[in-house]
Amino acid sequence: MKNINRIKKQVKNKLVGALLIVACITTIACDPTIDSLAFDLPDANSQEDLTPPAAAFTASVTADYLTYTFANESTSATTYAWDFGDGNSSTSVDGLNTYPDEGTYTVTLTASDALGAVNTYTAEVVVEEPEAPPVLDPTLVNADFVKLPKSSGSDCACAAWINKSIGDQGESSSGNGSDVLKFDNNEPDAIYQEFEVVPNANYLITVVSSFKSLESGGLYPSELELRILAGTGYTDGYTPVYYTDTVDFPQGNSDSGFWGYTSIAQVEDEANNLLIRVEDNPSDTSYLSYQYSFNSGANTSVALFMRGLGGPATGGAGGDFGYNSGDEEIRTDSIVITALD
């Protein structure tokens, strides 16, 4: 019994001792003021931050030109600070900001990771109200049909308007107080010119023409046809060149060079036509204004084509193109094309 008590006492003492030591250690261990046990980052021998943050973003404008969204493309970062350059800031992942006015703003993204490593990325945002590009009036060369030099041959009111692959050249004449272009009777006279347009824009064409008096009892009254031919219908590989000087214009043959339309079949392919209009002889010999409008569709370039019709397909006085003007001469004084948009 004595022995047991002694053993009990001894065990109790030792337990109390052990408890004291544990208590001491616990207290000391949790006290950060003890230098030797302090958190030892980022001193010597600590782990290096192998994946420091890299800040990056892309700005995109929204439907409202003042509002931009910023796509955060940072890597290895956990927190972000945006400075949008107009005094606004944000700490969300992606940025969204509406600027007060037009101007150039410097946007800074600061990306940091949990170890406190920081990286910044800066980009400028130019806030500008988008302007719809104005649709300009197309440029036609020699639109008043003045006698001007051609690449070969004598001066002609038809200068800049010749495409011999699809018709004979028009002829010089006068009328309405100036030079005019003439579509001879019973000939395949035609004019052709390519010009630049804005896609999907509306244009107004004004043509001033005069028909000779209707032949009484004539079998073949003349008609004047106007077509707007799509640039998408140009021969494969053809790139339009817009000449400004009439002497530079090819004439649609191998000597001077070909245009985008090289055959009547190509001209008459319905898919290539943006506009086809045919005027009958009005039985009025004065110069009348004819107006048409067209939409340029999916074209940056189109061609204007006019010819006299009404005669027999073959047997005319000119070349053989499968069409001829009718019994009366037609004269055209001017063509004006303006943008409607």
Partner 1 sequence: MKFVKYIAVLFIGVLASSCSDFLDPKPNSASTSNNYYTTLAELESALIGAYDAIQGDGSYDRDENHGVQYEFYITEMRSGNSSTKIADADDFSDSGQFESFSVLATNGIVANYYDSFYQVIFRANVVLENLGNVSEDTSAIEAEAKFIRAYAYFNLVRLFGDIPLVDHVLTASETDTQFIRVDKNLVYDLIISDLETAKDGLDNTYKTRASKAAAQGLLAKAYLSIENPEYLKAQILCESIINSQEFDLVNFYDVFYSELNDEIIFAIGYQTIDDSQNFSAQWMNAVGRSSGLNYATYDLVGDLDLYGGDRTQFTYRQDPIHLTSVRYQCAKYFPDGDDGGDTGEFTGNPELAGNDWIVLRYADILLLYAEAIMAGGQETNNAAALNAFQLVRNRAGLTDVVTNLTKEELLLERRVELAFENHRLFDLVRFGEAETTLSAYSELNGFGYTTSDLLLPMPQNEVNLSNGLMSQNPGY
Q: Which residues bind partner 1 (CB under 8 A)?
A: 56, 60, 62-63, 69, 71-75, 93-94, 96, 132, 199-200, 232, 271, 295, 297-298, 300
Pair of tokens at residue 246: 């009439």
For the chain, first and last CA: distance in Å?
Answer: 118
Smallest distance, partner 1 to C-beta of residue 264, A: 21
Give the nearer residue to partner 1 in terms of CB position, either 21 or 71: 71
**Is it true that the peptide bond before 42 is cis, omega within 30 degrees of 0?**
yes
Q: Give the nearest distance from C-beta 223 to partner 1 in angstroms.
A: 27
Would you state the structure tokens that stand for residue 134, as one six-digit string? Answer: 């104005």
For tokens 């910044």, what's the residue? 120
Q: Report how far apart, in Å, the C-alpha atoms of 231 and of each of 99, 266, 285 are.
A: 42, 12, 34
- Asked if 51 and 84 count as a contact pair (C-beta separation under 8 A), the reply is no
Tokens of 296: 């340029």
Distance CA 223, CA 340 (A): 27
As measured in angstroms, the least distance from the Cβ of 280 to partner 1 is: 27
CA pair distance 316, 172, nearest whole angstrom: 19
Q: Report how far residue 305's alpha carbon sits from residue 130's, in angstroms, rounded to the nearest whole number.
A: 36
Toward partner 1, which CB reaches closer, 263 or 300? 300
Task: State the nearest-atom distance from the C-beta of 172 to partner 1, in Å.
Answer: 38
Q: What does the alpha-carbon distance between residue 82 and residue 340 come to, in Å, rounded to a whole number?
A: 46
Taking the least distance from each CB to partner 1, the nearer of 66 and 93 is 93
List strands edge to edge, sheet with 89-90: 89-90, 79-83, 103-112, 118-127
For the bound state, the minimum distance from the C-beta of residue 298 to partner 1, rounded and expressed in Å, comes to 4
Q: How far is the CB of 71 from partner 1 (least distance, A)?
A: 4
Q: Compare residues 15 and 126 and give the one whose CB is closer to partner 1.
A: 126
**Which residue, 135 or 309, is less far from partner 1 as judged by CB?**
135
Q: How far is the CB of 103 from partner 1 (least distance, A)?
A: 21
- Please identify, using beta-carbon distances, which residue of 208 and 274 lies nearer to partner 1: 274
Question: Scanning the structure block, which residue is given the tokens 């639109």?
Answer: 143
| Cβ-based nearer residue to partner 1, 261 or 323 | 261
SS3 316: coil
Nearest residue (CB) to partner 1, 72 versus 193: 72
Output 59 or 336, the one with its CB closest to partner 1.
Answer: 59
CB of 90 to partner 1, least distance (A): 13
Helix and strand totals (H; E) in the chain? 2, 17
Q: How far is the CB of 125 from partner 1 (least distance, A)?
A: 15
Position of tokens 């009547």? 264
DSSP letters spanning 170-238:
PEEEEETTEEEEEE-TTS-EEEEEEEE--TT-EEEEEEEEEEPPPPTT-S---EEEEEEEEGGGSPTT-
